[in-house]
Structure 1
Amino acid sequence: MQDNNNDLPSPATGAPAVPAASGSGGQPRPLRFEFVGSGSEYFRIWIVNALLTIVTLGIYSAWAKVRTMQYFYRNTRLDAASFDYHGRASAILKGRAIVFGLAMVFQLTSHISPLLSLVLGLALALVFPLLLVRSLRFRMANSSYRGLRFAFTGGDAEAYKVFLLWPALTLLTLYALAPLAHQRFKQYQHNHTRFGTAPFAIDATAGGFYGVYLRAFGMMVAVMVVTAVAGGALGNVFGGGRGGVVMAFLVAAVGFYVALLAIGPFFMARLQNLVWNHTTLAPHAFRSEVKAGRLFFIFVTNMIATVLTLGLFMPFAKVRSMRYRIESMTMLAAAPLDAFVAGETQQVGALGDAAVDWYDIDIAL
């Protein structure tokens, strides 16, 4: 992790950062993230969003996304202050209309000429990195904390490497380069994000990502081997034959499903910890302590409750999962945040709008 030097210069002016701080003996002060929303509150938003989206044949989904984002942002707190989301539904609807239109054109050309669809597919591959960058800029420019906006400054040339070159190499190497591609994406995302004028930075290595991927893969293989052995043993108990084969197949299928179910929470927990434990914001650092076992328990109980309630528990499940992941995060503040935010607000005011490239489009679903 980068050294939290209290004299780090401002990226914009070279002026020293706000003086250090508030922990005893000059140590960083831990500030826990909080989520103060509830499942019942979000259920009311979720059910209205779902009904209006169905009635409007999906058009209202853009407004539904804005309401959902605002709910989760405004109920996430740090140092007694909330985040906020300012995105406009019209921009989201525009982005989705673009994606839908491109998909429809590609579908039509595939019925007319395979060659034409191939050419169009290549053209779409060239366009999509540009759309994704603008979507990232839109998301950050419309996110704020204490009234100060975030910003994303990643360039188009690097976006082609992150969103086109590395995914292509991942496919060509049969996913052997997937962890490296993931690390490059996180570098691009975090190293080009700002809060006001203060830059985020990440120093997580490719080796760290390979460690997460390999552990997850090893866990999945181990579960599948155990269930395959158990299935074979049960098959022998049933005397072989068709009944034994059916039993062995069922046990193997259940084992595969359990492996997939277990791998998601484990991967999510380890990845969040890896990324945020190696991320800084100017002189401030972060700590993430998501426990894979606890997250797995939340996922399993959420799934059971969702099935038993025919899907009506989904908003409660999302709140439970988000609350745990958010409240597992701590900011290690090297200086008082009110002074830090005030200083960044002055910097932005002196420089003009920090969100220079405010693209009015969001294609994220």
Structure 2
Amino acid sequence: MVEPSAFAAAVNDSPTPEAPQRFAFNGTGGEYFRIWIVNLLLSIVTLGIYSAWAKVRRTRYFYGSTNVAGASFEYHGNAVAILKGRIVAVALIALYNVAFSISDLAGFLMVIAAMLVSPWLIWKSLQFKLFNTSYRGIRFGFRGSMKQSYIAYLLWPLVSLITLFLAAPLAHQRMKKFQHEESRFGTTHFSFHGTVGRFYLAYLLVFVIWLIGVVAISVTLGGALFATIAAETSSAGQLAILVFVMALYLWMFLLFPIFATLIQNLIWNNTQLGRHRFTSNMKWTRMTFIVITNIIGVICTLGLFLPFATIRAMKYRIESMTLIPEDSLDHFIAAEQEQVSATGEGMADLLDFDLSL
């Protein structure tokens, strides 16, 4: 599915200077279902080879359906480059499985190797995705170095692991800061102002909500569970345990839309393109409703509702975003086109890689 960072750098043809420009998504479930079903069938028939071309079709549809200020985005990804990334991914997975079948030591060494190569793969993937995205003929780009990628995607995750994930919000903030501040639209760079403290507050809020839910479930179902176990009825006790565990699992799952909402709002409310700001006003209640009804729809239709579920979630996430121009963006567009035409783009041969996991 298309991440929001691919759309966030929109600039517009605003009829009124400084007027907020809300993102719009005009894709429909019916249209995407036809793309999805053809992609699925051809991928199965070709044993997965067509999946690279399927991704290009899917991404072009999502980008072309995303509009801001009367214009949509374009995707220029090459399916052959994506297929290379998928071959690398499959090879890594195969080597991982083979290594563990040989010995635990070989498996451990393979895990280390995968950790060492992952930041490079992520770096190339970010270059590929942004270079192959454009708006009104102007391409996005990514200037981050490989060294910065290893710091963001290897060093900080290791710090998080060593601290038993107490540093997870810090690692998350550093990753997003790297990803956003090293991205550009034409010759204008993004900036990111989300602080570590705000990330910790978001994580803390989710933890408090999770704890309240666990306590409520334990109080509500725990008494019945212990009473059933004390009655020494094995079948009833097993059922009570199952209900209790399922309730905890369901509560954990329902936390995801809450966390996703908080993080999207935090990230895009602290991102700028030059002097132009972005806002995101997602509501966790609405996102939770979409997630729950999507799951019900997918289960009841044996998976056929999946394209419609994807469109519903994507539409809400994109249309929750707004571009707040600092001044007239007509001049901004014209300036970008002139500067990009003057400097050219000489890195195309370095960017034809996509991890595509």
Q: TM-score, with normalisation over the residues of structure 1? A: 0.88
Identical-pair percentage: 45
CA distance in 1, matches of 2:167, 2:329: 39
- Identify the residue that residue 150 of structure 2 maps to in structure 1: 160
- Identify the residue that residue 16 of structure 1 maps to in structure 2: none
Q: 1:43 aligns with which of 33, 41, 46?
A: 33
- Identify the residue that residue 211 of structure 2 maps to in structure 1: 221
Q: How far has the Cα of 1:354 moved from its partner?
A: 6.7
- Identify the residue that residue 346 of structure 1 maps to in structure 2: 338
Q: 1:197 aligns with which of 176, 187, 194?
A: 187
Task: Confirm or deny that 1:73 pairs with 2:51.
Answer: no
CA contact (8 A) 2:225 2:244 kept: no
Q: Please identify runs of 4+ aligned residues in structure 1 that moved more than 6 A.
A: none
- Identify the residue that residue 4 of structure 2 maps to in structure 1: none
Aligned length: 342
Task: Confirm or deny that 1:274 pairs with 2:263.
Answer: no
Q: 1:259 aligns with which of 230, 244, 251?
A: 251
- Identify the residue that residue 82 of structure 1 maps to in structure 2: 72
CA distance in 2, matches of 1:228, 1:250: 13
CA contact (8 A) 1:53 1:59 kept: yes
- Identify the residue that residue 167 of structure 2 maps to in structure 1: 177
Structure 1 pair 86/226, CA: closer, same or farther in 2 (3 Å)? same
Q: Given residue 88 of structure 2, which amino acid in structure 1 is its aligned partner?
A: I
Q: How far has the Cα of 1:228 moved from its partner?
A: 1.3
CA distance in 1, matches of 2:151, 2:168: 14
Task: Confirm or deny that 1:148 pairs with 2:145.
Answer: no
**1:1-365 → structure 2 map (5 Å cutoff):** 22-23=16-17, 28-235=18-225, 240-243=230-233, 245-353=237-345, 358-365=350-357
Secondary structure class of the residue paired with 1:150: strand
RMSD of aligned Cα (Å): 2.0
Structure 1 pair 286/236, CA: closer, same or farther in 2 (3 Å)? same
Secondary structure class of the residue paired with 1:348: helix
Q: How far has the Cα of 1:267 moved from its partner?
A: 0.4
Q: Given residue 303 of structure 2, which amino acid in structure 1 is its aligned partner?
A: G
For structure 2, the 5+ residue unaligned runs are: 1-13
Q: How far has the Cα of 1:118 moved from its partner?
A: 3.7
**302-311 or 352-361: which moved more?**
352-361
Secondary structure class of the residue paired with 1:29: coil
CA distance in 1, matches of 2:205, 2:319: 25
For structure 1, the 5+ residue unaligned runs are: 1-19
Q: How far has the Cα of 1:240 moved from its partner?
A: 4.0
**248-257 or 94-103: which moved more?**
248-257
Q: How far has the Cα of 1:217 moved from its partner?
A: 1.6
Q: How far has the Cα of 1:241 moved from its partner?
A: 1.8
CA distance in 1, matches of 2:301, 2:108: 45
Instruction: Describe the superposition over 1:67-95 as per-residue Cα deviations: whole angstroms up to 9, x where unpaired.
Output: 11111100000000001111011111001
CA distance in 2, matches of 1:282, 1:134: 24
Secondary structure class of the residue paired with 1:201: strand
CA distance in 1, matches of 2:44, 2:348: 37
Q: How far has the Cα of 1:327 moved from its partner?
A: 0.5
Structure 1 pair 116/253, CA: closer, same or farther in 2 (3 Å)? closer
CA contact (8 A) 1:224 1:255 kept: no
Q: How far has the Cα of 1:102 moved from its partner?
A: 2.7
Q: How far has the Cα of 1:245 moved from its partner?
A: 3.4
Q: How far has the Cα of 1:158 moved from its partner?
A: 1.2
Q: Given residue 89 of structure 2, which amino acid in structure 1 is its aligned partner?
A: V
Instruction: Describe the superposition over 1:298-340 as per-residue Cα deviations: whole angstroms up to 9, x where unpaired.
Output: 1111111111111110000010011011001000012333331
**253-262 or 211-220: which moved more?**
253-262
Structure 1 pair 70/356, CA: closer, same or farther in 2 (3 Å)? closer
Structure 1 pair 253/107, CA: closer, same or farther in 2 (3 Å)? closer
Secondary structure class of the residue paired with 2:351: coil
CA contact (8 A) 1:140 1:151 kept: yes
Instruction: Describe the superposition over 1:241-285 as per-residue Cα deviations: whole angstroms up to 9, x where unpaired.
Output: 245634542342232123122211100111000000000000100
Q: Given residue 68 of structure 1, which amino acid in structure 2 is its aligned partner?
A: R
